[in-house]
Structure 1
């Protein structure tokens, strides 16, 4: 039953939410609405979102302390691949504000009681697997250019990366392959977690809905991905401190983008699995 419930909803059916076509301006409107949610509920983010910069700093310190400097940047960038999972509490706050409620940070934690928890966990496992895959490939790219010697000082590492033709070639291919990973993650997650939070449609339906939303709105979704990448980069300077603001805004904005891309539940098409 658990496996079936991951594939379908609790009734054994596979909802097929209808997709809307949106324009580029609606992406900026979603971002604006995300900012409003952040502005109206700022007290929540000390609890919910300082975890991100702290986790980022831990990852950076771990990579340096374990002589894994070559994985420092893939860890920092790849951490964004799993960001949609941790933003579930932010989606819940935006959802309840949309209903005219005044949610507290404790209510954000109620996502753990969601009937779609198994589906959420299944999608989270997929995202984590992609994250690990990115780290493995990033390591292989580094080793292809510089071998397997990880006993480098910080200065030697940056000299290799920034001061040699091999380093620039490595960055080119690493960025190109990283872009492919980012596009895949964006396509399968742009509405997946907000959808599962609101409706228990099953993991397969949620991922397929996200892919269909991306296919129907390639430019707006690409613009959203670009906005996310730029804001995450800005928020990471210095030492990830800005992420305490950037991440909650993006989390709330993701909920509003979902609202624009996916029709309300009453309009869903449903099929038997």
Structure 2
């Protein structure tokens, strides 16, 4: 039931987003559209790309000097990604509407829905802290005496000498990655575009994953592959690939969530027996 505001007019209740089904090849189209956005707005896109590259350099520096904290830093890279990509979402939105590509308006786009974006940041921050602690606990359980140096640790990874550690670490890390991916795949664009609250945005994001497991698996795999390529190219690839992923995420949101005016078809009323 709608409520009335101070002026006496009826205030509309927030509508829960309608999640649509997409085919498994949709992520490839999102990447292609992301490339188009990058080409149309290269300067502001490259600014965010350099920000991602700096984050990648920090992860590499931690790995070289304290590899046991690398998982935590990598998680921070993935957790900060959706927030750093907010400017890229705004660039794609402006390009979509035929507006001028400019960096300055994208730097403060978070102000549109600062409260709910802050709630979302707290949720991801808690997940990050739990995963960082879990990572250190796993290292402590499997390396009870002393951690090997970096070369020794890499040798164990290559030779699968400590297979139990790898399996446990991979499974726990995959669990946290799935949680973050499910909660954030479309939630930030939704909060920015429709001023949606954080809870319903995350629920809609989880719903998008549940309704499109094939497409979301392909999308997650593409993100991982492009991120790895970015790191292996001495972080130079991150300058281009991460903006493309950010732009593509906006188009993923556009495909996965029906426009605000589109409502699901009403269900037929059930006839009652006389």
Q: Hey, what does 2:149 align to over in structure 1?
A: 153
Report the 3-state secondary structure (helix = DSSP H, G, I; strand = E; otherwise coil) of the residue aligned with 1:177: helix
Q: Hey, what does 2:50 align to over in structure 1?
A: 50
Report the 3-state secondary structure (helix = DSSP H, G, I; strand = E; otherwise coil) of the residue aligned with 1:15: coil
**CA distance, structure 2, for counterparts of residue 173 and residue 235 of structure 1:** 26
- Quick check: 1:141 aligned with 2:138? yes
Q: Hey, what does 2:7 align to over in structure 1?
A: none
**CA distance, structure 2, for counterparts of residue 164 and residue 252 of structure 1:** 38
Alpha-carbon contact 2:110-2:192 (below 8 Å) kept: no
Q: What does the per-residue CA deviation read over 1:64-101, in whole Å, with 9 as the maximum and x for residues that have no partner?
A: 44xx3222244235522331111000000001111111
Report the 3-state secondary structure (helix = DSSP H, G, I; strand = E; otherwise coil) of the residue aligned with 1:157: helix
Q: Hey, what does 2:23 align to over in structure 1?
A: 23
Q: What does the per-residue CA deviation read over 1:11-36, in whole Å, with 9 as the maximum and x for residues that have no partner?
A: 69442011111112222111110011
Task: Give, in angstroms, the shift of residue 161 of structure 1.
Answer: 4.2
**1:114-263 alignment runs, 5 A limit:** 114=112, 116-147=113-144, 149-150=146-147, 152-163=148-159, 165-166=161-162, 168-263=163-258
Aligned structure 1 segments of 4 or more residues deviating by more than 3 angstroms: 11-14, 62-65, 159-164
Report the 3-state secondary structure (helix = DSSP H, G, I; strand = E; otherwise coil) of the residue aligned with 1:234: helix
Cα distance 1:142–1:162, how it changes in 2: closer, same or farther (>3 A)?
Answer: farther
Consecutive unaligned residues in structure 1, runs of 5 or more: 1-10
Alpha-carbon contact 1:82-1:128 (below 8 Å) kept: no
Greater relative contact order structure (CA < 8 Å, 6+ sep): 1
**CA distance, structure 1, for counterparts of residue 63 and residue 217 of structure 2:** 31
**CA distance, structure 1, for counterparts of residue 154 and residue 237 of structure 2:** 24
Q: Hey, what does 1:41 align to over in structure 2?
A: 41
Cα distance 1:209–1:268, how it changes in 2: closer, same or farther (>3 A)?
Answer: farther
Alpha-carbon contact 1:119-1:203 (below 8 Å) kept: yes
Cα distance 1:79–1:147, how it changes in 2: closer, same or farther (>3 A)?
Answer: farther
**CA distance, structure 2, for counterparts of residue 126 and residue 178 of structure 1:** 17
Task: Give, in angstroms, the shift of residue 211 of structure 1.
Answer: 1.1
**CA distance, structure 2, for counterparts of residue 57 and residue 73 of structure 1:** 14
**CA distance, structure 1, for counterparts of residue 90 and residue 111 of structure 2:** 12
Q: How many residues align?
A: 254
Decide which structure has the larger Cα Rg and report it.
2
Q: Hey, what does 1:32 align to over in structure 2?
A: 32
Cα distance 1:194–1:164, how it changes in 2: closer, same or farther (>3 A)?
Answer: closer
Q: What does the per-residue CA deviation read over 1:37-69, in whole Å, with 9 as the maximum and x for residues that have no partner?
A: 01111111332221112122123324544xx32
* TM-score, normalization by structure 1: 0.85
* TM-score, normalization by structure 2: 0.85
Alpha-carbon contact 2:71-2:132 (below 8 Å) kept: no
Task: Give, in angstroms, the shift of residue 160 of structure 1.
Answer: 4.5
Q: CA RMSD in A?
A: 2.1
